């Protein structure tokens, strides 16, 4: 993955960046291991078949973490500090789904170099599965 750095002054309202990833079995297993979230709807196929979803789903925060990938590596890039993230989980993300995280600048506060982004995660059917907003500070070294 290439890491980009866009100076705050070059960022405009309406700028967008995306990151696409196919959610794998390993992603879900490792996320469960790292976080300790071993809810059986994520890690137990027999349990998940009896659930509302009918099969295993990815952790919501695994899916939501892709916004951090966009913000920290693409737009605005390095030196981005998360201040807030709101997420509304609209549809499940299943193992094997290919999702695209899109972050669009919707507001700039120049005095403190704070940016607000619309954050949207879509699956391979172009269905919105997660929506929200992120607020970040773009710190720039002197």
Upstream peptide bond of 15 is cis (omega within 30 degrees of 0):
no
pTM: 0.93
Judge whether 3 lies within some domain.
no
- Structural domain total, the chain: 1
Whether 32 is in a domain gets the answer yes
Residue 10 lies in a domain: no
Residue 6 domain flag: no
User: Across the beta sheet with 114-122, what order do the strands follow?
Assistant: 16-22, 98-109, 114-122, 128-138, 80-89
Confidence band for 12, pLDDT divided at 50, 70 and 90: very high
Rounded CA-CA distance 58/141 in Å is 37
pLDDT surpasses 60 at 142 = no
pLDDT score, position 2: 67
Predicted confidence at residue 139, as pLDDT, reads 86
8 in a structural domain: no
pLDDT band at 141 (very low <50, low <70, confident <90, very high): low
- Residue 4 has a pLDDT of 75
Which ranges constitute the DSSP H helices of 4-139? 25-35, 40-43, 45-49, 60-73
pLDDT tens digits, 16-70: 999 999 999 999 999 999 999 999 999 999 999 999 999 999 999 999 999 999 9
> Could you read off the pLDDT of 84-111 as tens digits, one per residue?
999 999 999 999 999 999 999 999 999 9
Instruction: Tell me which residue range forms the domain holding 76.
Output: 15-138
Three-state secondary-structure class, residue 138 = strand
**CATH number, domain at 89?**
3.10.129.10
């Amino acid at each position: 993955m290439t890491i980009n750095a866009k100076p705050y002054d070059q960022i405009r309202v309406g700028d967008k960046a995306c990151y696409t990833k196919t959610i794998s079995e390993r992603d879900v297993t490792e996320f469960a291991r790292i976080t300790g979230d071993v809810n059986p709807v994520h890690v137990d196929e027999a349990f998940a078949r009896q659930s509302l979803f009918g099969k295993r789903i990815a952790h919501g925060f695994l899916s939501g973490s892709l916004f951090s990938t966009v913000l920290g590596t693409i737009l605005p890039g390095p030196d981005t500090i998360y201040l807030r993230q709101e997420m509304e989980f609209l549809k499940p993300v299943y193992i094997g789904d290919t999702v695209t995280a899109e972050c669009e600048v919707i507001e700039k506060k120049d005095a403190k170099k704070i940016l607000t982004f619309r954050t949207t995660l879509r699956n391979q059917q172009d269905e919105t599965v997660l929506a929200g907003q992120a607020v970040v500070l773009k710190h720039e070294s002197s």
